[in-house]
Structure 1
Amino acid sequence: MGANRANSANGADVEWDSIPELVRGAAERYGEREAVVDGRTRVSYAELGERVERAAAACMARGVEPGDRVAVWAPNTLDWIVCALGAVTAGAVLVPLNTRFKGAEAAYVLGSSRAKLLFVTGTFLGTSYVASLRRATTEGSGTGPLPSLPHLREVVVLADDAPENFLTWKDFLASGEAVSAAEVRTRADAIDAASPSDIIFTSGTTGRPKGAVITHEQTLRGYDIWCDLAGLREGDRYLIVNPFFHTFGYKAGIIACLMRGATMIPQPVFNVDTVLANIAAERISVLPGPPTLHQSLLDHPARDDHDLSALRLVVTGAAVVPLQLVERLRSELHIATVLTAYGLSEASGIVTMCRRGDPPETIAATSGRAIPGTEVTVVGEPGAPGEVLVRGFNVMRGYFEDPVGTADAFTPDGWLRTGDIGVLDAAGNLRITDRIKDMFIVGGFNAYPAEIEQLLGLHPDIADVAVVGIPDPRLGETGKAYAVRRPGSTLTAHDLIAWSRREMANYKVPREVEFVTELPRNASGKVLKTELRDQGRV
């Protein structure tokens, strides 16, 4: 295999063997320092540790055993932090669900992971997640709260009210009072560093979500490195706009703050006015997120009405980062550290990262170099584009209960196939140039055409369809669908987009639809996506 390769020295061992040990250590080390600010609620690290242990006790009381999967379907809140870390402290494997999912999408992940317990928000953005899930799971023979999900024994609603057969958050916590702190400590201490800590579901080229299994050791080692490279430190105040269901929010957010004693300020919905208000009111110093977040901040007409002087660290990625954006963050907002990074769920969310002191051109044009303990290689001639492969401590153990998918994800000599096309420069900096998987990124969210095409194909008037990403000035990219109607159909673009909004997460919904008589295909019948993308950019 011809390759251009960047090697990085092995990272040092971290001081924690498990996430519960990290939580307990943070409670002891940072004590009365503010851990979480959620609206009017302010919780110290000592209080957070107590809340997590109480949630862990309740998980144990409700029958959660080591290795059981526990899902969370909720926005960024203190309750998300507590129930997720509580489940992991009880030995469970965390399965975060995308808050943009519709009921059927959530049900698929719950069924595939065989989740035993689900924490779900009440009403969020005008939608009842419970009602959505119930509609999608009415058929089945299961005896639990959702008939078509027989493995799901309990559903806890993170609210004061819950439907019949569901638990409220208060009642769930009360059920753990019979479990002692010593029992919780014993359960937590038995967790091995090599045990799975979470399963992050990500869609592949087949359109069927697959769960990347990541261990405690991989998470802790990867984000200790992230903290060091970013320069996160005790006393930082971190506005977490990145969703907790994503590694950028959970691991580069919650886990990183626990490691360094930074204060977490979760924001459930991205709204630039709220971001500005939070930065000023809470003296935010750290603001990671996709480029669209920072662009919106810079361009907001009321920006100068807010005191943004505490901001000192920005980490971005997940899309092309304009050089002008890096320069404006430094010159207009006087942010000392602006870094870019690259990762994917199958590699613990972190593969390469820029270093402090890198010139703006490197930060804007590349995603930095391999993190310590990993290798990045590009197949092909040095300096030429090729598929990006990764090897190291951060690479997943495999897809959950999917040996075929796992085997396909690796080369015969053990490199993870990322499905991305990139170029390595002489210094080992990686620049992503294209995506084999045709994935595109909508405002920081990964959108997978094959999955969207499968959903669109369920419409009774659609005979054939292909989806590609096209440029969008606000979101970076959005989806465009090229669709073939069934004979006699009068389906309009407006009709299909409206239908899509009911059936799939908003970021997956095509913003444009063009009806064609047939899709362009090559001799083997494969849709010529490059041709469609070129048309979409005209």
Structure 2
Amino acid sequence: MTLEQLLDQEFVTLPDLIRVHARDQPQHVALIQDDRSINYAELDALLDRIVASMQRDGLASGDAIAVCANSSIEYAAVFLGGLRAGVAVAPLAPSSTAESLVTMAADADAKLFFVDAAVAAELEAVKTTLPAKLIFLDGSAEPAFNAWLAPAGATGAPVTIAPDAPFNIIYSSGTTGAPKGIVQSHGMRWQHIQRGVLNGYGPSAVTLISTPLYSNTTLVSFFPTLGLGGTVVLMAKFDAGRYLELAQQHKVTHTMLVPVQYRRIMAHPEFDRYDLSTFEKKFCTSAPFSAELKADILKRWPGGLIEYYGMTEGGGTCILAAHEHPDKLHTVGCPAPGHDIRLIDDQGREVPQGEIGEVVGHSASMMNAYHKQPEKTAEVEWFDPSGKRFIRTGDVGRFDEDGFLTLMDRKKDMIISGGFNIYPSDLESVLRQHPDLDDVSVVGMPSERWGETPVAFAVARAGTSLTPESLLEWANARLGKTQRLAAVQMVDSLPRSAIGKVLKRELRDSFKPKTPIA
């Protein structure tokens, strides 16, 4: 079958699509990393060797592996080879503690654990408790990946994969408790690949990836690019200047970035000298994306800009084509086709249009469950009166009269002060108007008088002399009476996850007021 015929099928696996590209465009480059590259024929053969190696080591369909390393061709090949073997892949964050890595690998029931030198060094103190055999992707120790591989030309036994079979287990960041394994199916990923056609992915697409491969943020662009026969350019570590160089060098057409990366790229002093005219679509997700930043990107960076709002767990997705709706940049767009997104109150009842509620969503792209945690799975499920299953996002929002969703905040981050609901995003929006402010986050801190009260953590622009006292006075003169800040703490930078989410728990733990908060 041709690629076009396959895309009309009810279900096709990603490894099968790569086999088709190896047949139809064997010399077309699939992956680029620095000065290395691999074409589809070579990638397909490498996946077969990985399948043979895993089966030789006793892995069978339904088993799992873990991968924890910086992005590389080898990392991508192991992920894809595991899928061809019918093995679920658990991509883990290198920023995790050694104890967390052991816990997550054990929770996933990983039989093999692929790492690089940096992660292996982190695991050294706990290596006797590791539940899986280590394999070194970068060849920094034994067994090295190339030595572990079956001989050239080796192929494993073919595996039949059902749509509901586990594709990957992605662990939540753990910023609010123990990480939960989010099990996504091959059928869910097939939905992402099919949808990729609408966004221009195909053999001519060149996608620059600078977010890590353990993040769903990355994977929603990574898999459609390869599934539809394009080229992925991998960055092991993000740097704004290097990103711009690669984009120009490889004539990049697509990219996925998080807001903090967009902000750093747009602020690069030489941004305007780079030729970015080949860009067709730029995507963003994972963290709040300010209207001001979107507007700057639309003005100065060629190509469309699309923001996705959703969860790794799946459910409903909203899409904002910012280049088509420049008057809606304060929103995250409308529900994607076939996605049912509703708002509910604390009692689980739907709220009327225009009112604020928690966002819940249903679609064909939903996780199977949290791995081995049925109670946690039940906590994020909501069922409408007909029994239709939705995923709770924990976000609070409101639909406008045109059906565009405006997010207020994470439900858990909402501040209840003196009985009033205060949304940190509203305060942050006001604070960002200060000309000497580079970055800011507002969190709720305990208060004997009010229960909770808002505190701002602010990063001053380089070369300015912004003080907490002056910023506090400036902000409170512009905020409503119930919104006023109790304090401002200046910081060098905001703690963020690898995909740009502000770690508010770390901010709370770091708060050192000059005087106690009333």
TM-score band, normalised by the shorter chain? Answer: 0.7 to 0.9
**Correspondence 1:421 to 2:416:** no
| 2:122 counterpart letter in structure 1 | S
Residues 14 and 221 of structure 1 are in contact (CA less than 8 Å); yes or no, is this contact kept in structure 2? Answer: no
Residues 197 and 518 of structure 1: CA distance in aligned 2, closer, same or farther (over 3 Å):
farther
Q: Which residue of 2 aligns with 1:177?
A: 151
Q: CA deviation at 1:148?
A: 1.8
SS in structure 2 at match of 1:407: helix
* 1:369 aligned onto 2:337: no
In structure 2, the residue corresponding to 1:31 is in which secondary structure?
coil
Q: CA deviation at 1:217?
A: 0.4
Aligned match of 1:79? 74
Task: Choose the corresponding residue for 1:378, options 343, 355, 360.
Answer: 343
Scaled by the length of structure 1, what TM-score is found?
0.73
C-alpha separation between the residues in 1 aligned to 2:78 and 2:454?
Answer: 37
Partner SS state of residue 134, structure 2: strand
Given the alignment of the two structures, is residue 134 of structure 1 paired with residue 101 of structure 2, yes or no? no
Q: Residue 17 of structure 2 contacts residue 228 of structure 2 at CA under 8 Å; is this kept in 1?
A: no
Other structure's SS at 2:294 match: helix
- The Cα offsets for residues 313-354 of structure 1, whole Å up to 9 and x where unpaired, read as 211133333333333323322x23111111111117x71212
Alpha carbons 2:33, 2:73 under 8 Å: kept: yes
8 Å contact kept, 1:237–1:284: yes
- In the TM superposition, residue 196 of structure 1 has moved relative to its aligned partner by 0.8
1:29 to 17, 24, 27: 24
**CA contact under 8 A between 1:391 and 1:415: conserved in structure 2?**
yes
Do structure 1's residue 240 and structure 2's residue 209 form an aligned pair?
yes
Post-superposition Cα deviations, 1:484-522, rounded to whole Å, max 9, x if no partner, equal: xxxxxxxxxxxxx9xx99xxx9975836822479998xx
Residue 148 in 1 paired to residue 124 in 2?
A: no
Equivalent position to 1:103, from 78, 84, 98: 98
Contact 1:19–1:220 (8 Å) recurs in 2 = yes
Match of 1:274 among 242, 246, 267: 242
Alignment of structure 1 residues 222-233 onto 2, 5 Å: 222-225=192-195, 227-233=196-202
Aligned CA distance change for structure 1 residues 233 and 368 (closer, same or farther; 3 Å): farther
Are 2:80 and 1:88 equivalent residues in the alignment? no
The residue number in structure 2 matching 1:207 is 177
Root-mean-square deviation (Å): 3.5
8 Å Cα contact 1:14-1:220 kept in structure 2: no
Match in the other structure for 1:396 = 367
SS at 2:48's partner residue?
A: helix
Residue range with higher mean Cα deviation, 381-390 or 350-359: 350-359
- Compared CA separation, residues 161 and 507, structure 1 to 2 (3 A): farther
Q: Structure 1 residues 353 and 223, CA, compared in 2 at 3 Å: closer, same or farther? A: farther
| 8 Å CA contact retained: 2:216, 2:312 | yes
- The answer on whether the counterparts of 1:337 and 1:356 sit within 8 Å (CA) in structure 2 is yes
Q: 1:108, CA displacement in angstroms?
A: 1.9
SS at match of 2:208: strand
Query: Could you tell me how far apart the structure 1 residues matched to 2:144 and 2:516 are?
Result: 50
TM-score (norm 2): 0.76
With over 3 angstroms needed to count, the CA separation of the structure-2 counterparts of 1:170 and 1:516, relative to structure 1, is: same
Distance 1:336 1:160, change over 3 A: closer
Q: CA deviation at 1:131?
A: 2.0
Counterpart CA distance in 2 for 1:29 and 1:158 is 29
How far is the alpha carbon of 1:407 from its aligned partner?
1.3
Partners of 1:102 and 1:33 in 2: how far apart?
39
**Deviation larger for 105-114 or 19-28:** 19-28
Matched, 1:437 2:412: yes
Task: Find the counterpart in structure 2 of residue 332 from structure 1.
Answer: 300
- Tell me the equivalent position of 2:510: 513
1:195 is displaced (CA, Å) by: 0.5
8 Å CA contact 1:230, 1:339 repeated in 2: no
Gaps of 5+ in 1: 1-11, 123-127, 138-145, 442-446, 450-465, 475-496, 521-530, 532-538
Separation in structure 2 between the aligned mates of residue 418 and residue 103 of structure 1, nearest angstrom: 29
| 1:212 Cα deviation after fit | 1.1
Within 2, Cα distance between the matches of 1:178 and 1:276?
Answer: 37
Matched residue of 1:415: which SS? Answer: strand
Alpha carbons 1:229, 1:356 under 8 Å: kept: no
Counterpart CA distance in 1 for 2:61 and 2:38 is 28
Measured in 1, the distance between the counterparts of 2:91 and 2:325 equals: 36
**Native 8 Å contact 1:16 1:22 kept in 2:** no
Alignment partners' CA distance in 1, 2:454 and 2:120: 30
Partner amino acid, structure 1, of 2:168: D
> Match of 1:232, as an amino acid?
Y
Distance 1:106 1:149 in 2: 9
Tell me what 2:255 maps to.
287
Per the TM alignment, residue 467 of structure 1 is displaced from its structure 2 partner at its CA by: 12
Who is 2:430 aligned against? Answer: none
**1:8 matched residue in structure 2:** none
Runs of 4+ aligned structure 1 residues displaced above 3 Å come to 12-16, 177-180, 203-206, 437-441, 466-474, 505-512, 515-520
Structure 2 equivalent of residue 536 of structure 1: none
Indicate the structure whose relative CO is greater, using CA pairs within 8 Å and at least 6 residues apart. 1
Q: Do 1:20 and 1:88's aligned partners in 2 also have CA atoms closer than 8 Å?
A: yes
1:87-139: CA deviations, max 9, x gaps? 111111010101222312212211222211111012xxxxx31121121x2xx
Alignment of 1:40-79 (within 5 A): 40-79=35-74
Distance in 2 between the 1:18 and 1:219 partners?
9
Percent identity of paired positions between Structure 1 and Structure 2: 24
Deviations 1:12-64 (A, max 9, x none): 96564322222222323332221111111121122211112211211111121
**Which residue number corresponds to residue 484 of structure 2?**
none
Query: Could you give the per-residue CA deviations for residues 397-439 of structure 1, whole angstroms, max 9, x where no partner exists?
Result: 1111111111111124422111111112233322221102339
What is residue 358 of structure 1 aligned with on the other side?
324
Residue 128 (structure 2) pairs with residue 157 (structure 1): no
Equivalent-residue separation in structure 1 for 2:61 and 2:291 (angstroms): 47
| Equivalent pair of 2:343/2:356 in contact (CA under 8 Å) | yes
Q: Secondary structure at the match of 2:282?
A: strand
Q: Distance in 1 between matches of 2:248 and 2:115?
A: 31
Alignment-derived partner of residue 420 in structure 2: none
- 2:429 — aligned with what? none
Structure 2 residue runs without a partner (length 5+): 1-6, 345-350, 415-423, 426-440, 444-452, 462-491
